[in-house]
């Protein structure tokens, strides 16, 4: 499943898993680097989902007035 199709909660769960792995001292630098890149991509998708939700909430609120 592509990131755009995942829910916000799914993205955050994967992000939390990556963070836990990044903190593992046994992980190689190259693995950590890959995980950090993946985490940045997930953050970008999370921010976009939050932005879209904010716009939808504002539209709903303005429609009520």
Euclidean distance between CA atoms 45 and 63, whole angstroms: 27
Domain spans, the chain: 3-64
Task: Specify the 3-state DSSP secondary structure of 6.
Answer: coil
Retrieve residue 31's tokens. 């693995």
Q: What is the pLDDT of residues 12-50, one digit of tens each?
A: 999 999 999 999 999 999 999 999 999 999 999 999 999
The burial of 60, by beta-carbon neighbours within 10 Å (0-12 exposed, 13-18 middle, 19 or more buried), is given as exposed
pLDDT(65) > 90: no
Euclidean distance between CA atoms 21 and 27, whole angstroms: 8
């Amino acid at each position: 499943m592509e990131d755009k199709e995942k829910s916000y909660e799914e993205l955050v769960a994967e992000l939390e898993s990556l963070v836990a792995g990044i903190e593992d001292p046994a992980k190689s630098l190259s693995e950590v680097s890959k995980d950090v890149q993946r985490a940045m991509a997930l953050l970008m998708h999370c921010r976009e989902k939050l932005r879209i939700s904010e716009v939808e909430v504002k539209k709903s609120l303005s429609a009520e007035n």
